[in-house]
Amino acid sequence: MSENSQPVLPSFYERPNVENDVLNIAQGVKVGIERVTNSALGLGGAYGGWGNNFDNQTLPEFVGNRLGEELSQAEVMNLGELGFHHRMHIPDLSEADHLEVELEVGARLVRAAAQANGWEPGEVDGLLVGMSAPVSEDYVSQIARRAGMRDEALKVSVHKACDGSMGALNLAINPGLALPGQINVAEELAGKKVLVGGIEGLSRFTSHARDKNALQLFGNGMGLFGVVPGENIKLLAGRSHENYDEEGLLQVRMYYPHSKERVSGKSLLEVQQDTSNHIRVAGMMHEPVDGLPIVMAGLMGMVKLFVRSGVEVVTDVHLQYQALMEKLGQSGRAINVAIVHHANYKINLLKAKQLVKEGINFPMPWLLHDFGNVSAASCAIAFLRRLQEINPGDHVLFDGFGAGTYYDVMAVSMG
């Protein structure tokens, strides 16, 4: 189906339950947030975006303006075929205005997500946020403070590209991930009120990129959901995996503290405790040599990068899950739904096809058409889009993957 013959789908801002506002910054920046609650699960959250909405027809002109040259017809991607019909972008702003915009939208999201769970921000004990390119090194601490969270609440910044939010969830619910000498985040937060998700200002991040695919694929997005580890979300099986992108198929600039040193046999992740209540988990990336923010090898490169290793990690977790179900006398119990990073629709279709060859078949719904690829925010948003259809006792598989490359896959029991 051609781009022009596809049905016109509404933008995020046009959804009936979205709370829209305009921030009085620069010439005004639009922001929209939708809250979602599933009272049967005792779980809720909020998601949204900021900036002007561009559909697939208006996007090429915006991208051309950023590049300073018009996109040729051959360079205009068929984004509808990849599952994307809208994405949100902001104009070029001063550094101070970029910071103020993202602090304000982040604080609003924290408050909305807390309230969707029936919590006040001051009751939240932990905030874990995945971010590919934070606007400031202490971003999570700043939005927590602005939202009204207590200073002693634990803040964790996770920089693992598109896998950031799932890396954060894995840290929150899997005590086996703790490193020697580091705080065990899952043990620290067990039974407590925690917000987990991703906040991605990718319009800012890609504003100086020259990669024409990246400029069309990525946009702003954010999502946080409530977790009481061990209570409303219980880990059944999980794995965190890293596999360095030697070929540089998806090169990403590290705009966060990292030594940028690779040591054979050691993890690509560096864990720093910036303050007594702020931990940073930072993953090494294959960076562009020319200083640009992002360089992609093309769509087939993304398939090569993510599908093979992704299938291996999901298969391993599924085997763990099956073994546990058999031990519990529930042999044959199935995953009800998988929440998978929305890199693009074709990648997810191919991943599903390869998993079927391994005898693994569960629903992997495409839930984002109105955000573009929003990196670490995508799994959080997709989960909240599906939340009201999940029942107590359902088993959900979370599948995060991102540049670097990093994978976090978890099978959990809900409610």
pLDDT at position 300: 87
Does residue 315 carry a pLDDT above 90? Answer: yes
pTM above 0.85, yes or no: yes
Give the angle subtended at the CA of 53 by the CAs of 51 and 59, to the nearest 5°. 115
pLDDT at position 7: 59
pLDDT at position 249: 95
Q: Where are the domains of the chain?
A: 3-414
Could you give the angle at which helices 95-116 and 139-147 cross, rounded to 10 degrees?
A: 60
How far apart (Å, rounded) are the C-alpha atoms in residues 367 and 46?
15
Q: Are strands 52-55 and 43-50 parallel, antiparallel or unpaired?
A: unpaired
Which residue matches tokens 């009800």? 336
* Continuous segment of H or E residues that includes residue 88: strand 86-89
* Backbone angles phi and psi of 28, in degrees to 5: 100, 130
* Backbone angles phi and psi of 268, in degrees to 5: -80, -10
Does residue 5 carry a pLDDT above 80? Answer: no
**Lowest-pLDDT range of 84-93, 184-193, 298-307:** 298-307
* 274 pLDDT tier (thresholds 50, 70, 90): confident
Which CATH superfamily hosts domain 3-414? Thiolase/Chalcone synthase (3.40.47.10)
pLDDT tens-digit series, residues 46-59: 999 999 999 999 99
pLDDT tens-digit series, residues 199-218: 999 999 999 999 999 999 99
pLDDT at position 301: 86
Say which residues have a Cβ less than 8 Å from residue 217's Cβ, sequence separation at least 6.
77, 79, 82, 84, 87, 344, 372, 373
Question: What is the average pLDDT score of the chain?
Answer: 95
Q: Are strands 126-130 and 154-159 parallel, antiparallel or unpaired?
A: parallel
User: Under a CB-based contact definition with an 8 Å cutoff, are residues 402 and 164 in contact?
Assistant: yes
Does residue 179 carry a pLDDT above 90? Answer: no
The arithmetic mean of pLDDT across residues 158-180, rounded, is 95
The arithmetic mean of pLDDT across residues 101-122, rounded, is 98
Does residue 1 carry a pLDDT above 60? Answer: no
Using alpha carbons, select from 186, 174, 289, 339 the residue that is nearest to residue 241. 174
